[in-house]
Amino acid sequence: MSGILVVVEQRAGRIARISWEAVAAAQHLGTQLSLPVSAVIVGAQTEALTAEIAAKALAEVVRVEHPLLAQYTSDGFSLSLHQLIQSETPTYVVLPHTYQVRDYAPALAARLGQVLISDVVAIADGPVFTRQLLQGRLNGNYRPTGSGPGFVSVQAGAFRAEAAPNAAPAAPQITTRATITTFTPTLDSAQIRTKPSEPYRGSSQTVDLGSAQRIVSVGRGIKGAENIPLVQELATALGAELAASRPICGNGWLPMERQVGSSGQTVSPKLYLAVGISGAIQHLVGMKGSQCIVAINKDPDAPIFEVADYGIVGDLFEVVPALIEAIKAATQ
């Protein structure tokens, strides 16, 4: 067949959002090239999930099933998918750009003499695949020129999962539910060279701001030690670690190990919420690597606003309680 194969990834018996986004990307590509889209799920027991996938507007759902695929290994996945691709001969293979895909897809593509176009953020006519270069400072448009199947992995959030149409009557071009087939690869345990253990959580007994994903950081604007519980409450509501600038720790309002900055820790969380921090250089160098910086400060000229993505100019004693309430409402 010629068509598009999209690999759906399961994690702990669930299909993550990014896989649905990959399905949406594959459907987008399918529409563009007028090719049918089929999904693949790899594992040892994928039955329950298959039904969920089949509800999408897909031609076929292929279950690649083998006891040796119960746990992910690069060898197991690339061997199985290699066999499937050789039998199905798709035009494109679309994958979600996950840690797992990054681990096996380049080898899989290379085995077929192809190169994975990874971390794609847009697909234009041609098709031309856009990916980010120079850490987001440049976009590059890639075109496959080989004769074999094209491999593409898509970035999280680049395609809308909600856009993946269901096989409902509302979608006129699809009239039937996807057919479900099972593909059993030939696998031998000797072919699987790596032995992974069960995943485990990183230890979190000590304060480790360096690996925290969310940080609420407090500065001089908090005025006194008696107001620390207010920001602690905000941190709890966000599921964030509490950190502080140098004067706060210097005054003993929070322990030294929570200090962010040149004489404390360097952090790079997804969200850095700076409350009452004006943004002295010692502080900025410790948190400039954060993906999203939000600043709450009453001084509109505070240097922190220069590095912030979002800013609220106002009295933190009004803004923070309102924010706690809004977050609680949004996450319940």
Partner 1 sequence: MILLLPTLAEPQHFSLLEKLLFAGLAVASAYSFWRRFGLVLGKILQSKKDPSFHFFPIGKRVWDFVWEVLFQAKVIRERPLPGLAHAFVFWAFCAFALVTLNHCAVVLGLGFLSPEGQIGRLYFYFAAVFALACAVSILCLFVRRFLIRPKWLGENLSYQSGVIALLIFVLMATYLASFFVADASPSARTLWWIHTLALLTFLPLIPHTKHLHLVLSPATVFLSRGSFSQIPPLSGDEDFGLVAGTDLTRLVSLQAYSCVECGRCTEHCPAANTGKLLNPKEIVLGLRGYLNDLGPASAEPLLGKYNAQEAVFQCTTCGACEFQCPVGIEHLPILVGLRRGAVNTGSWADGQGTKLFLNLERGSNALGLSPAERDKFIEKAGLPLFDGTQEYCLWLGCMGGYDPKGREIVAAFARVMNYLGTSYGVLRKEKCTGDPVRRLGNDLLFQQLAEANLEALAQNKVKKIVSICPHCVRTIQEDWKEYGTPPEIEHHSEFLARYADKLPHQTSPGPSHLEKIVFHDPCYLGRYRNVYDQPRTVVALAGELIEAPRNHERSFCCGAGGGLAFLGEETGERVSHNRAAELVATGAQTIAAACPFCNTMFRDALAATGEAAPELMDIAQLAARGLPQSGAS
Partner 2 sequence: MKIVVAIKQVRERDAQVRIDAAGKWIEEGDLQFALNESDAYALEEALQLKEKSAAADGEVIVVSAGPERVGTTIREALAKGADRAIHIDCDDLGQRDALGVAHLLAAAIKPESPDLVLTGLQSEDLGLGQTGVILAELLGLPHATLILHVEKTETGLTVKRELEEGWFQSIDLPTPAVLTIQSGGNKLRYATLMGIKRAKTKEVRRVTAAELGVDTPPVVVLEQVTLPQKQKSTQILDGTAKEAAAALVEKLKFEVRVL
Q: Is 299 in the site for partner 2 (CB under 8 A)?
A: no
Determine contact, residues 91/150, Cβ cutoff 8 Å. Answer: yes
Q: Is 314 in the site for partner 1 (CB under 8 A)?
A: no
Q: Is 311 in the site for partner 1 (CB under 8 A)?
A: no
Q: Is 138 in the site for partner 2 (CB under 8 A)?
A: yes
* C-alpha to C-alpha distances, 172 to 31, 38, 166, 169, nearest whole angstrom: 13, 18, 11, 6
CA 270-274-280 angle, 5° bins: 115
Determine contact, residues 35/2, Cβ cutoff 8 Å. Answer: yes
Q: Is 57 in the site for partner 1 (CB under 8 A)?
A: no
Q: Which is nearer to partner 1, 197 or 206 (CB)?
A: 206
**Which residue, chain included where needed, has tokens 């993946």?**
164
Determine contact, residues 306/291, Cβ cutoff 8 Å. Answer: no
Q: Is 24 in the site for partner 2 (CB under 8 A)?
A: no
User: Per CB under 8 A, which region of 69-77, 193-201, 225-233, 280-288 contacts partner 1?
Assistant: 280-288
Residue of 51, 124, 168, 281 interacting with partner 1 (CB under 8 A): 281
Reduced 3-state DSSP string for 19-56: HHHHHHHHHHHHHHHCCCEEEEEEECCCHHHHHHHHCE
225-254: contacts with partner 1 (CB under 8 A): 246-247, 250-251
User: Per CB under 8 A, which region of 20-28, 33-41, 131-139, 218-226 contacts partner 2?
Assistant: 131-139
User: Per CB under 8 A, which region of 38-46, 157-165, 231-239, 257-265 contacts partner 1?
Assistant: 257-265
50-109: contacts with partner 2 (CB under 8 A): 74-75, 98-99, 102-104, 106-107, 109
Q: Is 303 in the site for partner 1 (CB under 8 A)?
A: yes
What's the chain's length in residues?
Answer: 332
Burial label, 104 (beta-carbon count in 10 A; 0-12, 13-18, 19+): buried
Q: Which residues bind partner 1 (CB under 8 A)?
A: 220, 246-247, 250-251, 256, 259, 262-264, 266, 278-282, 284-285, 288, 303, 306
